[in-house]
Structure 1
Amino acid sequence: MSIEVKNLSFGYCDRLVLDGINFKAEENQLISILGPNGVGKSTLFHCILSLLKGYQGQVLLNGKDTRAMSIKEMAELVAFIPQSHYPSFNFSVFDMVLMGTTVQVSAFSKPGKKQVQLVEAALERLGISYLIDRGYTQISGGERQLVLLARALVQETRILILDEPTANLDYGNQIRVMTQIKSLAKEGYTIMQSTHNPDQTFLFSDIVMAMKDGKIVAYGVPGDIFTEELIRNLYAAEVKIQSLYEDKVRVCIPKCAI
């Protein structure tokens, strides 16, 4: 499965948010989009998902233009995990994950044994089976992100788009969520995420796409593009990048702290 974006531009009123975006994401890849607030990361995702229609250019999912796809066709190809999610009702974790199987059943039928097994397998895989009967609004932020990831898995798509999946999570939950995401990429998923964490980006990503002012300013493997100059350009922050473990890890240290 692949995501291909060709010369994509989009604006709100008189403000251009995305300006000539071009890239291709392949299977077995975790692509991280790095950039400051308001740069257009979420807008890009919404264009890819056809949640925003008035863009110029082309979005292809597995070679097919999304403009020609129905909602059901989109749901069969791509699953989306938003930055935050607050349901109106306190659904159980089981029901929240089961909602991901909606595309597999008709409007006049209900989930069957297969869908229940998918839910149980996804919860087991992510190590959160103990939450199955808990209320979604009564669990922690990290647990919610894992529940949303489980819901994406039972949707049985091979493309995942995640909008800041580790935002507001404690350090342990950040690592757990990112480890699972990386594992899925290794299994053949095509995954895109947005993030504000340069260290995490270097550690887990196969490809980094840095954005500023609605444009891609750097694109490539982390070891090639992850530099002090890039961080300065994106965030107007002076940092020292420390290489560790034979350059398997790079850590950003603010110069004001040195």
Structure 2
Amino acid sequence: MLKVNNLSFSYGRHRVLKDIDFQIKTGELCALFGPNGTGKTTLFKCCLKFLNPDSGTVRINGKDIRRLPPKQMARLVAYVPQAHHCAFSFTAGQIVLMGRTPHLNRFFTPGARDRKLADHAMQVLDISHLADTAFNRLSGGQQQMVLIARAIAQQTGLIFLDEPAAALDFKNQIRLWQTLQHIAEQGTAILACTHDPNHVSWFCHSTVVLDKSQLVAKGAPGQVMTQEMMDRIYGDTCQVKDFNGLKIMVPGTVDSQTTNVVAFPGNRKGIHRK
């Protein structure tokens, strides 16, 4: 669904991305992982046509994005930024309904099907009760859930998520990642930027790791999220432990005998053990 070939980008003389090469299949939840300043957001912007790369290509569903007009791009890919500032007093329900804009007629009038899809997207994330609340009055976490619901309502084959769980409490983080798994398994490709290695290990089908502007690893989390990899990008700040077949990243000073105190939700559905 997404294929990036030899992508490079620079801000003036400062090289941000160098020869990035990976692909994501339909039905795959892929994590974009790496330290701050390694080009993750810039990679998103290049894949979304917000920036023009110096070299390389990006294809979505086999189509070179350089040849895609904005409306066709919006029908192929949805994007959820880290934050969104709304200048007008739209309700949460109206924000979600905006996800249907690429599919509306020339009069931009949403129909019954559009409203049904928007309502369903809010139900998926259990935020229907926020539908009539002004978006600007919601908490940061609630706003993030609304923006993700908007992306779901957009009904694209590919979704980009920039730190989707950053503003959420622990319960909603777990619920969100499980929901993203479910959406992917229904036939959507998802690329989610995250700084939490445990989320990568527990929930994602694959991961792409950037460090110092280069791609340093890609593949299944069980193969990529190793002690060697964590040492390479973060030094000796954490240890990779195995807990009943599940990889857990713990602070580097924690002794291996203490990992049995790590608590997980009672419902472990959706957590990958690879």
TM-score by length of 2: 0.90
Gaps of 5+ in 1: none
Q: Do the aligned residues in 2 keep the contact of 1:47 with 1:53 (CA within 8 Å)?
A: yes
Deviation at 1:28, TM superposition (A): 1.1
Change in Cα spacing, 1:89 to 1:239, as seen in structure 2 (3 Å) is same
- In structure 2, C-alpha distance between the alignment counterparts of 1:146 and 1:168, rounded to whole Å: 9
Q: Secondary structure at the match of 1:106?
A: coil
Answer whether contact 1:47 1:55 (CA < 8 A) is retained: no
Decide whether the 8 Å contact of 1:35 with 1:235 is kept in 2.
no
What RMSD in Å do the two structures reach over aligned CA positions? 1.3
Please show how residues 94-133 of structure 1 align to structure 2 within 5 Å: 94-133=93-132
Report the counterpart of residue 265 of structure 2 in structure 1: none
Q: Does 1:251 align with 2:227?
A: no
What CA distance in whole angstroms lies between the structure 1 residues aligned with 2:57 and 2:28?
21
Segments of 5+ residues of structure 2 without an aligned counterpart are: 256-274
Does residue 182 of structure 2 align to residue 183 of structure 1? yes
TM-score (norm 1): 0.95
What amino acid is the match of 1:160?
Answer: I
Q: Is the 8 A contact 1:78 1:160 kept in 2?
A: yes
The answer on whether the counterparts of 2:227 and 2:240 sit within 8 Å (CA) in structure 1 is: yes
1:105 counterpart letter in structure 2? L
C-alpha contact 1:145 1:177 (8 A) present in aligned 2: no
Give the alignment of 1:213-252 within 5 angstroms: 213-245=212-244, 247=245, 249-252=246-249
Deviation at 1:85, TM superposition (A): 1.1
Amino acid at match of 1:11: S
* C-alpha spacing 1:216/1:98, structure 2 compared with 1 (3 Å): same
Matches of 1:183 and 1:132 in 2, distance apart? 23
User: How many angstroms apart in 1 are the aligned matches of 2:233 and 2:33?
Assistant: 8
1:171 deviates by: 1.1
For each residue in 1:91-150, what CA deviation from the matched residue of structure 2 results, as whole angstroms up to 9, or x when unmatched?
101110011111111343411212111111111222111111011122222222221111
Percent of residue pairs bearing the same amino acid type? 37
Q: Distance in 2 between matches of 1:191 and 1:115?
A: 22
Distance 2:227 2:192 in 1: 22
Structure 2 residue 144 is matched with structure 1 residue 153: no
Residues 33-59 of structure 1, C-alpha deviations (whole Å, 9 max, x = no match):
110001000100110011102431100
How far apart, in 1, do the equivalents of 2:54 and 2:154 lie? 27
Question: Partner residue of 2:22?
Answer: 23
Number of matched pairs: 255
Post-superposition offset of 1:83: 1.0
Post-superposition Cα deviations, 1:144-179, rounded to whole Å, max 9, x if no partner, equal: 222111111111111101011111322112112111
Change (3 A) 1:22 1:54: closer
